[in-house]
Amino acid sequence: MAPRKTNRQSWSEIAMAEAIKAVSTGEFGYLKASKVFSVPKSTLERRVKGFNKQISGSAKGLGSRQQTFSIVLEEQLVAYIKNMECMLFGLTTTDVRRLAYQFAERNNIRHFFNANKKMAGWVWLRAFMKRNRLSLRTPEATSAARARGFNRVSVDKFFELLEPLQDKNKYTPSRIFNVDETGMSTVQGHPSKIIAMRDRKQVGTLSSAERGTLSTAVICMSASGSFIPPMMIYPRVRNKEEFSIGVPPETLVACHPSGWMQLNLFDHFVKHSMASVENPALLIMDGHKTHTQNIAVIEKARNNGVTILCLPPHCSHRMQPLDVAFMGPLSTFYNQEVEIFLRNNPGRVVTIF
């Protein structure tokens, strides 16, 4: 790399922040503060008086495009990327660019990212990786094969992450939660077997429709066996009163065009689990992108004392308690109720209303 050809802005942002604080509180004048903290006097004066509208505080602004995030904010973003890598959920370049856009929007930071694609550009990514000693790596084929599926390597990695969390926070069973989601269709998935004559080659049964509407049920329970009120997400834009009829008490009913989990579920969890920094909780879930690559969820979890631990890829069917012991019976009993409704109401079909 070519040597730096200018000494402009060779001062540190931390030193500038301390100098601004010293002048603002009256501890030092501009000249003394510039000497004590080794920052330019003229730059310090402009920052304190707010003459530069595009660059404020201790941030640097060399060139036509200034660095988007401060050192502190970039450190937070890097820490998240490294954490996901350790959990075997490494982020691609596209994932990081999308996270950067979310991060800037959430912190009300002026940026030049693509608002249509909702992601940062390649120029920003290359500079970000260079500043933070990050590189683009292709996972080793042998390691990827070993980490895929339910095996000793994947399971050991999960418990290597779990054990220090448990040692640090001393979670009781009532503070360890598992959350999972399942699709609920208006058409039963697997009709129950029926008794028929042996010589019949084909038997039929009533079905609600050829194709059903898929809604989502989100279930969360603790290791002690207590359930948090479920969440039902319907694939609609607007909510209707009919959706709340007959649901379990305090069920959160929401609508979203995709019908899948959104941020308000996490608010629901924090409320009913009473999670806080003083009363921390461990939330175990799969590594779906909507859970792990959402800056809003990450910040809300950190601020409320919730640690999110992701299960290894392709291991949910063996390691996720709800998947192993709850979702199967739920699907079976739901299908039975659909069959009973169709049998007792000839000519009618099951809908989400």
Does the pLDDT value for residue 191 go beyond 70?
Answer: no
Full domain range(s) for residue 91:
71-132
Q: How many residues does the chain have?
A: 353
Indicate whether 261 and 240 sit together in one domain.
yes
Task: Give yes or no for residue 221 having a pLDDT over 50.
Answer: yes
The answer to whether 215 and 184 are in contact (CB under 8 A) is yes
Parallel, antiparallel, or unpaired for β 214-222 and 227-234? antiparallel
Question: pLDDT tens digit string along 28-62?
Answer: 999 999 899 888 888 888 888 764 444 444 555 55
For position 159, which CATH number holds? Answer: 3.30.420
Q: The tokens of 352 are what?
A: 């989400």
Q: Give the number of C-alpha atoms closer than 13 A to the C-alpha of residue 350, restricted to the C-beta side.
A: 26
Whether 239 is covered by a domain: the verdict is yes
Does residue 149 share a domain with residue 261? yes
pLDDT bucket at 291, cuts 50 / 70 / 90: low
Query: Sorting pLDDT into bands at 50, 70 and 90, what band is 195?
Result: very low
Domain annotation covers residue 289 = yes
Position 171 pLDDT exceeds 90: yes
Query: Is residue 24 one of the residues assigned to a domain?
Result: yes
314 and 185, same structural domain?
A: yes
349 falls within a domain:
no
Q: What is the phi/psi pair of residue 155, to 5°?
A: -65, -45
pLDDT for the residue numbered 227: 92
Residue 140 has pLDDT above 50, yes or no: no
Residue 313 reports pLDDT greater than 90: no
pLDDT-based confidence at residue 296 (cuts at 50, 70, 90): confident
Q: Are strands 176-185 and 214-222 parallel, antiparallel or unpaired?
A: antiparallel
- DSSP one-letter string for 201-261: S------S-SSPPEEEEEEEEETTSPEEEEEEEESSSS--GGGGTTPPTT-EEEE-TT-S-
Number of domains present in the structure of the chain: 3
- CA geometry: angle at 68 spanning 66 and 70, to 5°? 105
Per-residue confidence (pLDDT) for residue 259, from 0 to 100: 46
Mean pLDDT value across residues 279-296: 76
User: How many CB atoms are closer than 10 A to CB 172?
Assistant: 10
pLDDT computed for residue 211 by the predictor = 60
Tokens 């979310």 label which residue?
Answer: 102
Higher pLDDT, 151 or 329: 329
* Residues 223, 178: Cα–Cα separation, whole Å: 8
Is the domain of 175 the same as that of 243?
Answer: yes
- Is residue 351 situated within a structural domain? no
* Same-domain check for residues 176 and 280: yes
Please tell me whether residues 242 and 330 are part of one structural domain.
yes
Render pLDDT for 222-278 as a digit per residue (tens, 0 to 9).
999 999 999 888 888 888 888 888 888 999 888 876 544 456 778 888 889 999 999
- Whether 30 and 78 share a structural domain: no
The average pLDDT across 290-315 equals: 79
Answer whether residue 307 shows pLDDT above 60.
yes
Lowest mean pLDDT among 152-156, 176-180, 195-199: 195-199
- Is 118 in the same domain as 154? no
Q: Is the pLDDT of residue 217 over 60?
A: yes
Kindly tell me the burial class for residue 291, based on how many C-beta atoms sit within 10 Å of its own C-beta (0-12, 13-18, 19 or more).
buried
Mean residue pLDDT across the chain: 78
Share of the chain above pLDDT 70, in %: 76
Do 32 and 152 belong to one domain? no
